[in-house]
A and B are shown apart, each in its own frame.
Chain A
Amino acid sequence: MKNSEKKILVVEDEAHLAKGLQFNLEREGYQVTLVDNGPSAVEILGQEEFDLMILDIMLPKMSGLEVAKKIRNTDMRFPILMLSAKSTDEDRELGLAAGADDYLAKPFHLPELLLRVKGILRRWEWYKQPVHDQEIFKFGDMWINFATGKAKGCSGEFYLTAKEALLMKLLVSKKGNIVTREELLEKVWGYGPQTETRTVDNFVSRLRKYFEKKPQSPQHIITHREKGYEFKP
């Protein structure tokens, strides 16, 4: 798929920033739709399909975090890049926990933003290509449908976020082998190991909450100290 066929929804209430983002993304060949508040974003998502959403956190009426959570509770699945002036680790974790796939603090560098957008879209495409004969992967009494992102964990059925599904797919495709944190960062997040490896740990602990009866003593997603993670069906 060419850039020109990819649709990006930009949810940003700062008119200047929104216009600048639109200009640059259109220059890269994406189709951009601008929305300046949370409820309109949810509304337009119900009508149109997008390949990526760039979401600001501080929005009038409904915050970006709420928008992300709302989307996460539906079967709509596409990556979310969160933009925010809040730059502490806790803010970052809050954003990722709400369902964002990537988090960029304002002010940001334009080349970095464009690279991240490109990376997210590329990985999303890799994810959408079927790797297994069957898209539903079963282990124990749990299962994951990689095509729809729907899964059944310890406490019932739910939807994985794009990034969670991507991470799970990578671990599952290498089941029985150790996958290093660096490899996960590179393939799932698309940036080098110099970036915080804590991001990976955050995501893994979330996956454990879904798929482990006792997240403290995991049976499926095993940590290998100083090496990485391993998935055991």
Chain B
Amino acid sequence: MSRLRNLFHPIMVFIGVQIAWIVLMVVWINWYLENNLAIKEFAQKIRPDLFTVEIQWLILFEGCFLMLLILAGVYVIFVYWNKQNRLNQMQSNFVASVSHELKSPLASLQLYLETLKYQDVSNYERKDFVETMLSDTQRLSELIDNILQSSKADPKSMALQFQPVNLGDFLADVVKEHKRQLEAKKCLVDLKLEASPTLNLDPRALRMVFNNLVSNAIRYSPAGSPLNIHLHKIGKYWEVNFEDQGFGFEKKDMKKIFRKFYRVQNTDTQNIEGAGLGLFISSEIVKNHNGRLKVSSPGRGQGAIFSVQLPASREVEV
């Protein structure tokens, strides 16, 4: 049964079609060359006026040309199918990882709410639980933002609303929001600001970028490893570096990690949650600010540096 299914696999069908048309062409041309003389004689006997050599070669070329067109058509259909198939695959991976991503903070919320419902807790504990729950709701809302943003058909049409934003304060704010997650992972943040320029940015979109980068650094690092955030000017850009000492990745993954739904697969990261959306969205948002999102990693297990470069031309006087 599986053999039969393999036989009808689109790749096999595609190869089969190619072989069929090549064989057909060979047989056809061979037959034509062999019978050419006979046909010529036969035709000359009946209607010598119809017969010219040029027309016959023309017909042969015409046949070849049409055959090539069919080949091209089959190829286009095959490529399209392949793309569609990969997209379906990615979609189902996405659904699986998103549902897991959604369930983790939800499970935590439910646990704490039910703890408050069924257990007697002290004031201090209640406050602590509420803080934990708030950080879970933040995680949920970040994820939902990512999903909504990525589901927009054309990210280029992203409607950004620019306003002056003080980058230094903004970064400090983002770090503060992740205080709880950072504490839970015993991760120390070193925020180094060489200046604090005010740029014309979309704060909502850019918050998603920074949230994604900080969350990634936390999730893809072992507990207790530091995160350095460094804001400085480099050429025509203001650059924010997020340097972690986490799991890193290999060179071959460098470009792929910005693809939608793509996730680095190896033993360090296989059980880390993620939907494969964060970096895709972040790079789209930065591009829409005429900036660049770059990444480098010395290799697996040696951390990674994500750099958000925003054009200095966006700077505004305050």
Residues of chain A whose beta carbon lies under 8 Å from any beta carbon of chain B: 13-17, 19-21, 23-24, 27, 36, 58-61, 63, 85-86, 106-111
Contacts and interface: CB of A to CB of B under 8 A. Distances in A.
Contact of B114 (A27, A106, A110): A110
B136 interface: yes
Contacts of B268: 60-61
Nearest to B112: A20
Nearest to B114: A110
B118 A111 contact: yes
Contacts of B103: 85, 106-107
B107 interface: yes
Contacts of B302: none
B271 A86 contact: no
Given A58-B100, A107-B103, A20 B119 contact: no
Contact of A16 (B108, B117, B267): B108
A58 B271 contact: yes
B111 interface: yes
Interface residues of B, number: 31
Interface of B: 99-100, 103-112, 114-115, 117-119, 125, 129, 132, 135-136, 184-185, 223, 267-268, 270-273
Contacts of B271: 13, 58-61, 63
B47 to A, nearest CB: 74
Nearest to A16: B108
Contacts of A19: 132
B108 A111 contact: no
Given A60-B268, A61-B267, A111-B114, A20 B100 contact: no
A65 to B, nearest CB: 10
A27 B108 contact: no
A108 B267 CA distance: 28
A108 B107 contact: yes
Nearest to A20: B111
Contacts of A14: 104, 107-108
